[in-house]
Amino acid sequence: MQTRTEALYKLSRSKFRSSFHLNEADRTYVREKGMDTIRQHASDFIRTRLAPAWPENDGKQTPMKGHPVFKAQHACACCCRGCLEKWYRVPKGTELTEIQQEKIVNLLMAWIGQEMKTQR
C-alpha cells in the first residue's frame, strides 16, 4: 500500500496526469468556498460517481473541467473505475468502501492543497 506522498510522486511522473493544474478561476473558487466545502464536494462526487460497483457512464463520468475536484480526479487517476484499477488495483465491479472513498478524497485534497501552494 502506497502513501499519499508516494502516489502523488508516481502521478507526477506521468506526462498525462502531470498535465492537470488548477487555473486562477479554480484557485479563486477554492479560496472562496474553503477547503472544507471543497472536501465535501469531493466526497459527494466520489460517493455518487465513482463508488458504485458499476457507475453510470463509467469512463466518461468525470468532466475534464468545471470544478477543481474534477481536475484533481484526473490528475490523481481517480476519475473512473478503469483508472482506479490500473493505478491502484481497485477492481471494477465492487462497490468502494467508505475507507476507500475517504482515502481517495484525502488524495484529491492533498493534490488540491499542493496546487494551491504552487504559483503558475
Q: What are the extents of the domains in the chain?
A: 4-117
Say what the pLDDT of residue 120 is: 63
CB 41 within 8 Å of CB 69: yes
Mean pLDDT in the chain?
A: 94
Which stretches in the chain have pLDDT values below 50?
none
Please list, in sequence order, all residues whose beta carbon lies within 8 angstroms of the beta carbon of residue 38, skipping any fewer than 6 positions away.
30, 68, 69, 109, 112
